[in-house]
Amino acid sequence: MAQQQRAEIDIAPYIDHALLNNTATPPLVEKWCEEADRFNFAAVCVYPAYVRIAANLLHNKRPKVCTVIGFPTGTTTSATKLYEAQEAIDNGAQELDVVINLGFLKAGNTNELHREIAEICETGIPVKAILETNLLNDEEKKLAAELCMDAGVAYLKTGTGWYGGTNISDVRLLKQITRGKVGIKAAGGIRTHQEALDLIVAGATRLGTSRSIDLLGQRDNLEEN
């Protein structure tokens, strides 16, 4: 893509404005929601405990309310994940970022992995399956991606950010695997506007970041207001 075309990309509609800090407070959730609405972000991503607050704040506004399920390890029981997802939906969640069980994947328990994700997808809410690609080899990434796509996910997400940042090579690999059938969310360690642009050009259709305002270069304007 030409440099001029890259420069013309508005990254704001790609951003899931993430507040996954375990010391977050309701006033901070309110701040995140206000920023998401102001800057036209795709979504706010908060912990399940704050979904209802975010849903009330963003009612009838463009940004979606996203929450995480089985976060950050993916190793709660399938029944627990399903309950967590259903409760989040009841509280107003519109998208679910679900951490897959990597133990199932590495043990070859693919039927259980598929069933777990499929049950959550059956709730009817768009699911982003978190693959944690930094912990997988390319063969495992391909298998995980294919299982999750078959289960009905709307997006494949590179990782939680707990095990290192996202990288362009993984986004490109997921783009090859998905062939446009589902979206790709790159998350973890996205620190600059250029990095965000590079990930979008590589194939990312969403960006998960807590540094959203900095990526837009709007921090000074925000603080002035």
Give the pLDDT confidence of 179-216 residue by residue, as tens digits: 999 999 999 999 999 999 999 999 999 999 999 999 99
- Comparing 80 with 5, the larger pLDDT belongs to 80
pLDDT band at 125 (very low <50, low <70, confident <90, very high): very high
Rounded Cα distance between 158 and 160, Å, is 7
Residue entry with tokens 């693959």: 131
Q: With CA atoms as reference, report the closest residue to 129 among 119, 138, 215.
A: 119
157 is catalytic: yes
Share of the chain above pLDDT 90, in %: 92
Which pLDDT belongs to residue 8? 79
Rounded Cα distance between 17 and 65, Å, is 10
Catalytic residue among 81, 128, 141, 157: 157
61 is catalytic: no
- Comparing 217 with 90, the larger pLDDT belongs to 90
Catalytic residue among 97, 128, 141, 170: 97
Catalytic residue among 81, 128, 141, 185: 185
- What pTM was computed for the model? 0.94
Residue entry with tokens 């998905």: 178
Rounded Cα distance between 46 and 16, Å, is 10
Mean residue pLDDT across the chain: 94
Which pLDDT belongs to residue 225? 46
Which pLDDT belongs to residue 84? 98
Residue 224 pLDDT > 90 = no
64 is catalytic: no
Which pLDDT belongs to residue 217? 86
Rounded Cα distance between 185 and 173, Å, is 13
